[in-house]
Amino acid sequence: MAAFEEMGVLPEIAKAVEEMDWTLPTDVQNEAIPLILGGGDVLMAAETGSGKTGAFCLPILQIVWETIKDIQQGKTAKVNREVSPLWLMSFFDRDVGLAVTPDGLRCQSRDPKAWQGVRGTKGVVGKGKYYYEATVSDEGLCRVGWSTPQAALDLGTCKNGFGFGGTGKKSNCKQFDDYGEPFGLRDIMGCYLDLDGMEIRYSKNGVDLGKAFTLRNEFRNATFYPAVVLKNAEMSFNFGASPFQHPPKAGFVALCEASKDCTVISGVKASDSGKPNTIQKNAPQAIIIEPSRELAEQTLKQVTLFRKFLDNPLVRDLLVVGGVPVKEQIAALNNGVDIVCGTPGRMEELINSGQLSLQACKFFVLDEADGLLKQGHERLVNSIYNSIPKITSDGKRLQMVVCSATLHSFEVKRMAERLMHFPTWVDLKGEDAVPETVHHVVVTIDPRNDTAWSNLKRHVHTDGVHMKDNVRPGNNTPETLSEAVKLLKGEYCVRAIDIHNMDQGIIFCRTKLDCDNLEQYFNQKGGGPKNRGNPYSCVCLHGDRKPHERKANLESFKTGDVRFLICTDVAARGIDVGGLPFIINVTLPDEKSNYVHRIGRVGRAERMGLAISLVAAVPEKVWYHGEWCPTRGRGCYNTRLTTERGCCMWYNEPQYLADIEEHLGVTIQQVDKDMKVPVDEFDGKVVYGEKRASAGSNYQTHVEQLAPAVQELSELERQTQIIYLKRQYGKDYPWNR
Ligand SMILES: Nc1ncnc2c1ncn2[C@@H]1O[C@H](COP(=O)(O)OP(=O)(O)OP(=O)(O)O)[C@@H](O)[C@H]1O
């Protein structure tokens, strides 16, 4: 049996995985896949390129497929197809947007617009005085009470239903009258039904609120069921199987103590209702949020590859990203979708307009979660989370999966504590780390020592920050040195490419303008998008490029039509280019976690990679267009500093380098301007872009390497034991005689 199948993965998915040449699960997959298949919430913190995407896509696809299959076979109510003989809320006599936990004692609806109701599995008839408790376990709107089987599930809106709402109104036949007092979160409502005296009353936290309804004669032989209707709320019920928080008034008994001859079992069964066996078309089971279009596309592609052999039933997936017409996405939603993967903006637009329903969502995935929070999407994450029912319509709990190579941030931990349900950390290192397969070095650029910038015939077009400054060779002002850094960075970048014969690499620049300028420089050198033969052939990817151009450029880079992708941090996270050998940081990112993500574009899936960062030894004045900049940078010439209401700042790269080193707990190796990277660490056997000759999984060499250390440890252990025994037993012990 294939390794993936042994973990409980469906043979059809395992077959697809095998076709992708994945013979063994990676460490993170080994841990996370069974956890997700088992229904848990997972925080996945593993290095870049360690296979996190597969670790969540694979089990989610499997569960989604199994659920669709169950629905097709009419097994949605797998929890319980028969009406329970116990006193519970019914799995069948309910609106489809309301979920009931498998124990039947908690109901929830996350529909913010429509009321969703449910009745109990049993009712009482004839005579007797009955009581049950309903507790508001999550804020929202609710009406609770009693209804006959003929009543609408929207309790209190017809003559056969009697409800009391949290706003302090009782209702019957759409007549809403003041009664008692409002109630809300954590309040325990006592619901009384007196069939002898023909009245209904309520209590709040044990305090009697008085008579609410007198039951007319026509109800003399009616069966009354406990009932509730919710709007974006949750209530828990106790029909008497557990001790009541507030025991009923004298003469009343718990519903579950009703005598057999006064009890009626609900006639609404799975086959009658039909409703729970259907799923709204625009209500996917899984929502995956990614920080960029490219990543959303890449993740969905992985789902598509995994589902290759899952043909009956088909799992329908949809990419929901901005910059492309929304019409097609809406049409696809209306045709039915099971897994939606997209970026925050478009996702929010579709949810808010009601085109994308969260009612059937059972997986909420935040990929690159720290990145999403840093981009300012916390409010959106909260609002989506709040709108998803925490219990799905088939009685399962919502599962949340959160992952990134840099998950160890305060914001992520705070979010996990707030939103996730006893999550398991799959954390292979316990801190943000760089994979061993990534060789990363720093080249210092010091225009005071390297004066090559002063007589360059052709050079990169700089960003114009110093256009109005008096910058010229010989004048060692900070402005001149800053301009010199910009010129030298273009040269060092080209030198890195030449020295290492780089035939494929990603080049990260700080701004979109820097990207454009470098692209132009490479094009002047004969590069360009259609010239693979040229050592500087390149394409560019950043937020100002049109979506179709971004897509085409990434594609031509991935397929090897061009050698270089010049980009901003928009491509720092997640982008996976098989066997990519090189990356160059023209400027270090100010966000230290992005350093990990950028250099993590190489050294993936056990391939070796080299990352070279160019770091200016002197401050560089750069653009920084914040919210205050009316054009957000376009055509902006305000070179004053941000502290003077301008759009520039002095960028202190040595400080950023120190921050990154501190964060990672390493000193990043420095190399000279000849860019010769010491090979000793890798025995000189490294070919960047390829697997190491004797990659770690060679068990035999591993044992040989460890043997001396283990022997030494065993000797130390022996000596420690002897010392202990001597102390404990003195000279009586054989060793001491
Ligand atoms: N079990 C496996 N066997 C072989 N290759 C794998 C396996 N799992 C994943 N891969 C490959 O490893 C590469 C990296 O995987 P993936 O993109 O999921 O990494 P990641 O952990 O999400 O990285 P990042 O943090 O950068 O997003 C991909 O090319 C993927 O196809």
pLDDT tens-digit series, residues 301-327: 999 999 999 988 999 999 999 988 999
Cα(659)–Cα(671) distance, integer angstroms: 19
Residue of minimum CA distance from atom 15 in ligand 1: 51
pLDDT in tens, 266-299: 887 654 444 444 567 899 999 999 999 999 999 9
Are 220 and 198 spatial neighbours (Cβ–Cβ below 8 Å)? yes
pLDDT over threshold 80, residue 97? no
- Ligand 1 site residues (CB inside 6 A) read 22, 24-26, 29, 46, 48-54, 405, 574, 576, 578, 600, 604-605
* ipTM field: 0.99
Model pLDDT, residue 13: 96
The residue ranking higher by pLDDT, 421 or 363, is: 363
Ligand 1 probe mutation, 6, 9, 17, 22, most atoms within 8 A of CB: 22
Residue of minimum CA distance from atom 5 in ligand 1: 22
Residue of minimum CA distance from atom 10 in ligand 1: 51
For 496, other C-beta atoms within 10 Å of its C-beta total 23
- Of 285, 277, 276, 283, nearest in space to 73 by CA: 277
pLDDT in tens, 214-241: 999 999 999 999 999 999 899 999 999 9
Ligand 1 probe mutation, 596, 604, 608, most atoms within 8 A of CB: 604
Q: Measured in angstroms, how far is the CA atom of residue 701 from the centroid of ligand 1?
A: 25
Residue of minimum CA distance from atom 3 in ligand 1: 22
Ligand 1 probe mutation, 9, 18, 53, 368, most atoms within 8 A of CB: 53
Number of helices (H), then strands (E), in the chain: 17, 33
Residue of minimum CA distance from atom 4 in ligand 1: 22
Q: Measured in angstroms, how far is the CA atom of residue 50 from the centroid of ligand 1?
A: 5
Residue 436 to residues 174, 408, 575, 604: CA-CA distances in angstroms? 68, 19, 19, 10
The atom of ligand 1 lying closest to the CA of 54 is 18
The residue ranking higher by pLDDT, 461 or 112, is: 461
The atom of ligand 1 lying closest to the CA of 24 is 1
pLDDT in tens, 504-549: 999 999 999 999 999 999 999 999 898 888 999 999 999 999 999 9
- Of 45, 15, 10, 121, nearest in space to 425 by CA: 45
pLDDT over threshold 70, residue 732? no
Are 293 and 367 spatial neighbours (Cβ–Cβ below 8 Å)? no
Model pLDDT, residue 278: 57
Q: Measured in angstroms, how far is the CA atom of residue 48 from the centroid of ligand 1?
A: 8
pLDDT over threshold 90, residue 703? no
Average pLDDT over residues 12-41: 94
Ligand 1 probe mutation, 47, 50, 301, most atoms within 8 A of CB: 50
Cα(332)–Cα(489) distance, integer angstroms: 47
Q: Measured in angstroms, how far is the CA atom of residue 119 from the centroid of ligand 1?
A: 48
pLDDT over threshold 50, residue 626? yes
